[in-house]
Amino acid sequence: MILPPSTLGILGGGQLGRMFAMAARAMGYRVMVLDPDENSPAGTLADVHLRAPYADREALERMGRGCAAITTEFENIPADSLEFLARFCPVRPGAAAVSIAQDRAQEKSFLQARSFPTAPFARVETAADLAVAYQKIGVPALLKTARHGYDGKGQARVGNLAELAAAFAELGAVPCVLEAWLPLQTEISVMVARGADGRAVAFPPAENRHVDGILEISIAPATVAETLAAQAVDTAKAIAAALDYCGVLAVEFFVLGDGRLLVNEMAPRPHNSGHYTLDACLTSQFEQQVRAVAGLPLGAPDLLQPVAMVNLLGDLWREGREPPWEAVLSHPGAKLHLYGKREPRPGRKMGHFNVLAGNSGEAKAAALRLQQALAPDRIPG
């Protein structure tokens, strides 16, 4: 076990890195962050902030020699950088697992080969693959870039072959996957933590609603059948085991109208839909990440009270004015989390709040009321 006051490293300085740093420092660890942005949210809280690109070998070696273990806050760190760091100290999760999650085509092929159910898909490497993929998948369908897509970016819904060809060109003619569009009942996600000893624990599934591809609200526990929730947890743990994963892994699922559960995608890190754990669980997803990275026993993931989490996007900042935070701060069951980002932009995640209540329905209703209070001219969704 790696004990305090050892230094833990994190590649990436965004809000996930910031919350990891807060959890680590609360437990007595020092934190080193590698991120090129001098104003990165995690860098401002770190004991050491290395301002360098993620492929900078000099900075990576300094990090590797200065840390007892290293993790990542997002999946697009070059695999070569993770392999290089592993020469110096444990890197959790490892390069092999992260590289699979970096690429949608690899990820879906990995899942399919191990009998984890996914939506039907086809690889599209070049324009020559479009007709074959179209014939295999049909329409409507979603064309998604294989790499670097998030929050609804890098994807387009298509209804015919001409739209498919246009979307492929619009996305830059980069490698993609064409995925069948399926009628959904809802979307849920499971955060699973797996330790270096192979033991895994999972948080209760969260039910998620997206607007324009960006997560708007998550409710836990999800309002789905107990058998389906248990199936999602078991599947998430099985995927983590198949990856020989160490750390916190997010697995997103589609729940179809006929009750089937399909794996949508996974993220090799804490996840937006797991932010509810900061206030509603005995151990947060970020403390679990610290524990897994440091080789400690995992904490109990128990949900102490139903909760709803709402994202706060840069759209709330009107003409440079701060939103009316008193609306949230005056609510006895609400917890506000702001990420310390200097520049609010439309669609940019600036923070979130959690609302705890007696049941999921009450938590969701209170969260939506507070959301409306922060943006009175917003049309309720």
* Among 292, 294, 300, residue whose Cα is nearest residue 248: 292
The rounded Cα 17 to chain-centroid distance in angstroms is: 12
What value does the mean pLDDT take over residues 45-74? 97
111-139: pLDDT as tens digits? 999 999 999 999 999 999 999 999 999 99
pLDDT at 153: 74
Q: E strand or H helix at 250, and its extent?
A: strand 247-256
Which residues, in sequence order, are CB contacts of 234 under 8 Å at separation 6+? none
Residue 32 has pLDDT above 80, yes or no: yes
Q: For 361, list phi and psi in degrees, rounded to 5.
A: -65, -45
Specify the pLDDT at position 380: 56
Kindly list the distances between the CA atom of residue 258 and the CA atoms of 139, 228, 233, 262, 275, in Å, as whole numbers in the listed order: 20, 12, 19, 11, 29
pTM: 0.94
Whole-number mean pLDDT of the chain?
A: 95
Phi-psi domain of 151 (left: phi exceeds 0; alpha: psi -120 through 50; beta: other): left
Q: How far apart are CA 148 and CA 52, in angstroms?
A: 20
On the question of pLDDT at 379 being above 90, the answer is no
Structural domains of the chain, ranges and CATH numbers in brackets: 7-91 (3.40.50.20), 120-180 (3.30.1490.20), 184-374 (3.30.470.20)
Cβ 360 vs Cβ 223: under 8 Å: yes
User: Per-residue pLDDT tens for 184-241?
Assistant: 999 999 999 999 999 999 999 999 999 988 999 999 999 999 999 999 999 999 999 9
Q: What is the pLDDT of residue 45?
A: 94
